[in-house]
Structure 1
Amino acid sequence: MATYTHYGKQADVFKHLVLCEVLQIEKPQIYIETNSASAIYQMAHTPEQQYGIYHFLKKAREEKPLRESPYYKLESTEMAKGNYLGSPALAMNILAERTSQYLLFDIEKDALENIESYAKQVKLESHIQTCHTDSLEGVIKLLPSLSQSSFLHIDPYEIDKKGISGTTYLDVLIQATQAGMKCLLWYGFMTENDKIHINQYIVNRLEEENIKEYTCIELIMNSIRKDTIPCNPGILGSGILATNLSQEANKAIWDYSDMLVCMYSDTKYKSYDGRLYRDNIK
């Protein structure tokens, strides 16, 4: 578990807040996650976590839609015990036995053992299948066997890096989208130049594949710079790309991103400007 240090940071809040709401709306029969990491973590009260989950929980109490969100309810309960729930645990709590199968990929064996242990705690061990393999290749092979009732959560950070077969995680999303599956892809970047590159890559590839209906929303820290990294709260910018979701789920992405911008309107990370702005990528 020591490999993973991203949990509870601001980008995690954005990703997991949206993921929880979308899963509650869509209720898939099969849930697949490409880069699962662990199900549960012990909090460390780092400055990055203070800027992330601790700030969120404090501010969310003042806003009814956030206070009533599944993410807030789950994390506030677990944070009182000193823990943070990762995406596998959040998915299990929201979907429970209604989802017949959870397919969770990771290259770290300790993370998968953590997931298996948590699944036993919530009595879902018979629904869980952990996959100790490279998810880029593993999910591509799995796609033909999946139905349209599947939900694919793609969480790699780098979505343009090619694997052994020459495919990228955006290619995985494209193939799953064309097969009719619901997809949610998270990605990150650290400079404005990185953002420009990844935006062009997304728009061009989706246009090449004639995928016109999608939602792509980014939250970016005001402190981001063109080609330097002034600070590191975890990620300076991150985006969520969604395909084949219902109108209600797409609206939730817009609504929650707007609420987070408002929530961070007077915030600092250490001595840096911690405010966020939103961008819509089309």
Structure 2
Amino acid sequence: MNNHFAELGDVWKHLPLAEILRITPPRHYWETHAGSASYALTESPSRLHGALRFLSCAPRDPDLRGSAYLQALRSSPVVYPGSPALAMQTLGKTATYLFCDVDPGSAATLRAATAGFEARIIEADGVSAIYRETQLARVNPGDALVHIDPVDPYERVTGQSKTPVELAAWLARAGYRLFYWYGYDCVERRGWAYDEISQLAPGINVWCGDTLMPACLVYPGTTGALGCGVVLANMTSSEAGVCERLGRALERINETDVVESNDPSQLTFRVIT
């Protein structure tokens, strides 16, 4: 089971994801690394800089107070919704779902949470499962949003498997709506996923929103930089515009969360295109 949730990286994953699902709801929602449906929102140092800070500050920001993510957090204050729960809460029974995870405990929570929904849970490698689904399913790629959130972006389960980054680029070229979350631990890697996916999918409309932050806000006691971002492919201009506004608002509400002795000293947001 995942013990890292409701942290700053999760905020800059679920904040744009929930909004995209609300403004342009897909008919099919697929995840390669779904994790648990939800988590108990207990207090920890990293969550105090993440979702708990967001809950406190977002209602005072004009671009965040009406966000789908804040609405989801407020609907069940003691529970943190994972991306599967966010998707089902936003889309309801208007969509079909495919959630993949190799962890038996996470898969069990997904089976319980999806009761009554048109959903499948695959307890296996999600990259291979999603690629196989694209070969078998008779869906319009533009009707499906695929969320890729890997631990290791370069993992290749078998010699014939795609890595998560390769799958992302393949989906983008095939016309699927892509939501790819990535992380990094040095400033030089800022925006790396945008660079790699763009190179593997030339000519495709790709957008990236990247956040750089003090590492200690996520891992107390550490120094230096930590960052994460989302890469969108085959998105609408309204989706890109909304995500940029949300990213700048997230930077705004974190202006007072400063680590003076660190570089960087606070969270910053950047659009990479």
Equivalent in 108, 113, 120 of residue 103 of structure 2: 108
Residue 142 of structure 1 is matched in structure 2 by 133
> CA RMSD, aligned part only?
2.4
Aligned-residue identity in percent: 22
Equivalent in 201, 210, 218 of residue 202 of structure 2: 210
Structure 1: gaps spanning 5 or more residues: none
Residue 264 of structure 1 is matched in structure 2 by 254
2:180–2:230 contact (8 Å) kept in structure 1: yes
TM-score, with structure 2 as normaliser? 0.89
Describe the shift of the 1:208–1:170 C-alpha distance in structure 2 as closer, same or farther (beyond 3 A): closer
**Is 107-116 or 12-21 further displaced after alignment?**
107-116
Equivalent in 212, 224, 242 of residue 220 of structure 1: 212
1:266–1:274 contact (8 Å) kept in structure 2: no
1:39 matched to 2:48? The reply is: no
1:215–1:241 contact (8 Å) kept in structure 2: yes
What's the offset of the Cα at 1:13?
0.6
Structure 2: gaps spanning 5 or more residues: none
Describe the shift of the 1:108–1:257 C-alpha distance in structure 2 as closer, same or farther (beyond 3 A): same
Describe the shift of the 1:84–1:204 C-alpha distance in structure 2 as closer, same or farther (beyond 3 A): closer
1:16 matched to 2:7? The reply is: no
1:47–1:269 contact (8 Å) kept in structure 2: no
| Structure 2 counterpart of 1:26, one-letter code | T
1:160 matched to 2:160? The reply is: no
> Which SS does the other structure have where 1:66 is aligned?
coil
What's the offset of the Cα at 1:117?
1.5
Aligned partners of 2:206 and 2:144: how far apart in 1? 17
TM-score, with structure 1 as normaliser? 0.86
Aligned partners of 1:202 and 1:39: how far apart in 2? 27
1:184–1:240 contact (8 Å) kept in structure 2: yes
Aligned partners of 1:262 and 1:151: how far apart in 2? 29
Residue 176 of structure 1 is matched in structure 2 by 171
| Structure 2 counterpart of 1:161, one-letter code | E
> Which SS does the other structure have where 2:76 is aligned?
helix
Aligned partners of 1:162 and 1:136: how far apart in 2? 9
Aligned partners of 2:265 and 2:83: how far apart in 1? 24
Equivalent in 232, 235, 239 of residue 249 of structure 1: 239
Equivalent in 250, 263, 275 of residue 266 of structure 2: 275
> Which SS does the other structure have where 2:244 is aligned?
helix
Aligned partners of 1:174 and 1:115: how far apart in 2? 27
2:204–2:234 contact (8 Å) kept in structure 1: no
Aligned partners of 1:263 and 1:274: how far apart in 2? 14
Alignment of 1:31-110 (within 5 A): 31-79=29-77, 82-99=78-95, 101-110=96-105
**Is 129-138 or 235-244 further displaced after alignment?**
235-244
What's the offset of the Cα at 1:269?
6.6
Q: What's the CA shift string for 1:153-185, capped at 9, x where partnerless? A: 111143233332252112111111122111100
> Which SS does the other structure have where 2:26 is aligned?
coil
> Which SS does the other structure have where 1:153 is aligned?
strand
| Structure 1 counterpart of 2:71, one-letter code | K
What's the offset of the Cα at 1:205?
4.7
